[in-house]
């Protein structure tokens, strides 16, 4: 039994849900998203909530049951509130700026690094070293944040690089001076 799949999904005020064939559409104040409903699950939709049920009793159906419930909940939260990820850049001389749909970064390489912000996402800089990535699609926001972070991952000796805000980085001790 899926603990996640059993929970009903509440439909908040201002969000419209419609099912066309096997595609569920959610429209809200931030925009519109859709998700393809797998044949292993059935949906019961009324005005206040969505209940995801299993179509059969196969072993793989349990995994899809919880997955579909989570995906449907993600699009509802996305069109109502949206998602955002915050990345912090630490390091002497490391800078970043947003110009249009590009993020220009100086990350200690011999060349500047540019990252193109995907359509549907926005990027802005706070406090000179925090990059805020926001959008309505949870997967797209998380993937772009991971792509930016992979440009200069935080290293364990001096702590330079991109880290998620609130992320703890285990620091390693450097070389010790030998005594003879």
Residue 1 has pLDDT above 90, yes or no: no
CA distances from 49 to 72, 118, 129, 131 (A): 11, 32, 41, 35
pLDDT digits 0-9 by tens, 15-38:
999 999 999 999 999 999 999 999
The C-alpha atoms of residue 20 and residue 138 are separated, in whole angstroms, by 22
Instruction: Please report how many Cα atoms fall inside a 13 Å half-sphere around the Cα of residue 166, on the Cβ side.
Output: 2
The CATH number of domain 83-164, selected from 3.20.20.30, 3.90.930.12, 3.30.565.10, 3.40.50.970: 3.90.930.12
Residue 176 has pLDDT above 90, yes or no: no
The C-alpha atoms of residue 124 and residue 132 are separated, in whole angstroms, by 5
pLDDT digits 0-9 by tens, 59-101:
888 889 999 999 999 999 999 999 999 999 999 999 999 999 9
The C-alpha atoms of residue 6 and residue 66 are separated, in whole angstroms, by 8
pTM: 0.89
């Amino acid at each position: 039994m899926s603990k996640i799949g059993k929970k009903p999904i509440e439909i908040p005020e201002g969000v419209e849900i419609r099912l066309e064939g096997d595609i569920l559409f959610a429209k809200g104040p931030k925009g519109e998203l859709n998700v393809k409903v797998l044949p292993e699950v059935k949906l019961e939709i009324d005005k206040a909530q969505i209940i995801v049920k299993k179509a059969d009793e196969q072993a793989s159906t349990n995994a899809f049951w919880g997955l579909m419930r989570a995906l449907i909940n993600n699009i509802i939260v996305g069109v109502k509130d949206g998602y955002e990820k915050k990345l912090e850049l630490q390091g002497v001389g490391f800078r970043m700026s947003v110009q249009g749909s590009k993020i220009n970064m100086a990350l200690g390489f011999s060349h500047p690094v540019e990252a193109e912000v995907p359509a549907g996402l926005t990027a802005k800089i706070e406090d000179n070293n925090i990059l805020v990535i926001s959008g309505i699609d949870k997967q797209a926001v998380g993937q772009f944040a991971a792509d930016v972070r992979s440009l200069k991952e935080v290293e364990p000796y001096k702590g330079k690089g991109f880290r998620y805000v609130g992320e703890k980085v285990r620091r390693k001790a450097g070389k010790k001076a030998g005594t003879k």
